[in-house]
């Protein structure tokens, strides 16, 4: 496929825009129908209850209108999307068993180099299926489970069914419904009571085919007193037609547990990225989202913490960068159901070249959640006169004994700062890059070193030519 000049120019700094040859075992026809849903369920040899769940979700999806708030979705043609593509040779436990062209793709992206680094386990999804999942033996012996979600359904059916779609049901929103109908791939993670996985698990998602959809479903259960960190990365080729990514992430953080979910999203600029991410946090538990959004044409993503029992805590640290042709509509939700719960939201956004970033957040404190508190900090940086930023905070307080703070700032790169740094030998672009790195430092410092370096490198690529 020849990329038209406009898309080519927008993707000029995107280094993962190449594609691999398409060789698939199954490729559904374009568009969403009952036949496609039944094809997916049959291909996965699922129990009847899951097929029934999918078909019900399809009906919900068809009944719900496209959202008219948030980003402009009028360019997303849902009838032109492939909702299921099964690559040849998927879900291997050994890297040697992954097909050569798929293996080459992930090696170019840093897999399995990442596995040889300090990671507890690595998963890789290609199109609609996990092509590889592996957990280091030391963690497997402690009872940690890190599987594709399909294997989680087969090997742990009771645990799976206890939690699946309880945090993000199909009725939640139109895109949760489409994911529920056609979900494929994603991770199933269980960390047993008291086990502390002190090095990250990682899964990498790659869309390869043109006009394709990726609908991974990830279910993570962190049992009482356990700890873990999960990192997700995403890329896709640059095509002239649009692709569609709509994942659902459900996380259960039980009493006294602690979990961090980090994302470095770097989709190409032809991807609509519409994701639902939510965690249920129980007594004394801590949920942390670290969310990096750089790529895509449109992103709508609001990681959420539902604080269900006393002493639960939720934190969301978010960075979004919007360039020409992009709208990053990102934010967070903290919902207090119980007394003495607490939350923190820190959102940083950068806009340039007519790119638009939006913070959209919700803080809700229900009656009876006495002593609860949340603080929200939104900072936006504009790199030029064409860039745009918006803030849409929603604060709903039903409890008198509660505390909510909200602070928002918008600033431009200061000419005096640029001149000062130039006087110290930096070029104008280098000076601007240094200012931006300082701006995002509160987010970057929360990532493991190698991922913080990668985030800064991606920011630098996006910054090229932004000033002057």
pLDDT interval class at 7 (50, 70, 90) = very low
pLDDT: which is higher, 276 or 422 = 276
- Residue 199's pLDDT is 87
The pairing of strands 187-191 and 145-148 is antiparallel
| pLDDT score for 103 | 66
Phi, then psi, of 220 in degrees rounded to 5: -125, 125
Round the average pLDDT of the chain to a whole number and report it.
87
**Assigned token pair, 196:** 């502390």
Helix spans in 127-169 (H): 137-140, 149-155, 157-163
CA proximity to 41, closest of 23, 62, 56, 61: 56
Half-sphere exposure of 232 (CA within 13 A, CB side): 24
| Predicted confidence (pLDDT) per residue in 251-266, tens digit | 999 999 999 999 888 7
Measured distance CA(72)–CA(246) in Å, rounded: 16
pLDDT higher for 110 or 181?
A: 181
Task: Assign 114 a pLDDT band (cuts: 50, 70, 90).
Answer: low
Confidence grade of residue 109 (pLDDT, cut at 50, 70, 90): low
Which two tokens mark 414?
Answer: 């200061």
How far apart are alpha carbons 287 and 447 in whole angstroms?
15
pLDDT tier for residue 3 given thresholds of 50, 70 and 90: very low
Q: How far apart are CA 181 and CA 217, in angstroms?
A: 11
Whether the predicted pLDDT of 294 surpasses 60? yes
**Residue 112, preceding bond cis, omega within 30 degrees?**
yes
Report yes or no: 230 and 188 within 8 Å, Cβ to Cβ: no
What DSSP assignment string belongs to 444-463?
HTTS-HHHHHHHHHHHHHHH
Structural contact between residues 467 and 421, judged by C-beta atoms closer than 8 angstroms: no
Joined together, the tokens standing for residue 69 give: 């708030």
- By three-state DSSP, how is residue 177 classified? helix
**Residue-level pLDDT at 4:** 41
Q: Which two tokens stand for residue 428?
A: 């104008």
pTM for the model stands at 0.89
Place of tokens 């649009």: 242
**How many Å apart are CA 344 and CA 316, to the nearest integer?**
6
Which pLDDT does position 468 carry in this prediction?
A: 43
- Residue 131's pLDDT band, with cuts at 50, 70 and 90, is confident
Q: Which helix (H) or strand (E) holds 28?
A: none
Q: How far apart are CA 272 and CA 164, in angstroms?
A: 25
Is the pLDDT at 453 greater than 50? The verdict is: yes
Question: If you average pLDDT over residues 317-345, what whole number do you get?
Answer: 96
Instruction: Please tell me the number of Cα atoms within 13 Å of 124 on its side-chain side.
Output: 28
Strand partners, 221: 190, 252
Q: Compare 238 and 242 and report the one with higher pLDDT.
A: 242
What pLDDT shows up at residue 431? 85
Rounded-to-integer distance, Cα 456 and Cα 464, Å: 13
430/298: higher pLDDT: 298
- Bridge partners for 190 per DSSP: 145, 221
Q: Which of 298, 276, 390 is nearest to 73 (CA)?
A: 298
Where is average pLDDT lowest: 52-61, 90-99, 128-137? Answer: 90-99
Contact 226, 195 (CB under 8 A): yes
Name the pLDDT band for 106 (thresholds 50, 70, 90): low
Q: Across 36-111, where does the E strand assignment appear?
A: 85-87
**pLDDT band at residue 5 under the 50/70/90 scheme:** very low
Closest CA to 374 of 318, 292, 320, 307: 307
Q: If we measure between CA atoms, which residue out of 271, 324, 452, 352 comes closest to residue 12?
A: 324
């Amino acid at each position: 496929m020849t990329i038209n000049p406009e898309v080519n120019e927008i993707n000029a700094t995107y280094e993962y825009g190449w594609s691999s040859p398409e060789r698939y075992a199954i490729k559904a026809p374009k568009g969403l129908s009952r036949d496609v849903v039944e094809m997916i369920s049959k291909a996965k040899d699922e129990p009847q209850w899951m097929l029934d769940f999918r078909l019900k979700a399809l009906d919900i999806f068809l009944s719900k209108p496209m959202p008219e708030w948030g980003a402009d979705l009028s360019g997303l043609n849902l009838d032109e999307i492939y909702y299921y593509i099964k690559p040849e040779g998927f879900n291997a436990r050994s890297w040697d068993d992954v097909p050569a062209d798929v293996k080459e793709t992930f090696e170019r992206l840093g897999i399995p180099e990442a596995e040889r680094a300090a990671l507890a386990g690595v998963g890789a999804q290609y199109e609609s299926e996990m092509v590889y999942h592996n957990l280091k033996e030391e963690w497997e012996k402690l009872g940690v489970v890190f599987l594709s979600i399909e294997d989680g359904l087969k090997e742990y059916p009771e645990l799976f069914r206890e939690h699946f779609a309880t945090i993000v049901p199909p009725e939640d929103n139109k895109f949760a419904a489409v994911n529920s109908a056609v979900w494929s791939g994603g991770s199933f993670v269980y960390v047993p009571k008291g086990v502390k996985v002190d090095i990250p698990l990682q899964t990498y998602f790659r869309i390869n085919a043109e006009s394709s959809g990726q609908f991974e479903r990830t279910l993570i259960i962190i049992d009482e007193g356990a700890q873990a960190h999960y990192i997700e990365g995403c890329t896709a080729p640059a095509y002239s037609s649009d692709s569609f990514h709509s994942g659902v992430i459900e996380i259960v953080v039980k009493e006294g547990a602690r979990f961090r979910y980090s994302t470095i999203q770097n989709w190409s600029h032809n991807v609509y990225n519409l994701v639902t991410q939510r965690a249920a946090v129980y007594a004394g538990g801590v949920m942390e989202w670290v969310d990096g959004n750089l790529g895509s044409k449109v992103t709508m993503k609001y990681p959420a913490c539902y604080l269900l029992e006393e002493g639960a805590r939720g934190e969301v640290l978010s960075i979004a960068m919007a360039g020409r042709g992009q709208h990053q509509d990102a934010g967070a939700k903290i919902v207090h159901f119980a007394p003495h719960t607490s939350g923190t939201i820190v959102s940083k956004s950068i806009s340039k070249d007519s790119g638009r970033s939006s913070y959209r957040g919700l803080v809700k404190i229900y009656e009876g959640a006495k002593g609860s508190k949340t603080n929200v900090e939104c900072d936006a940086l504009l790199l030029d006169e064409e860039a745009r930023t918006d803030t849409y905070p929603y604060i709903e307080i039903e409890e008198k004994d509660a505390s909510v703070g909200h602070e928002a700032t918008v600033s431009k790169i200061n000419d005096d700062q640029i001149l000062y740094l130039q006087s110290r030998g930096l070029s104008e672009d280098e000076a601007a890059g240094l200012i931006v790195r300082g701006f995002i430092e509160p987010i970057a410092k929360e990532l493991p070193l190698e991922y913080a370096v990668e985030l800064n490198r991606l920011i630098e690529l996006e910054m090229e030519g932004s000033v002057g």
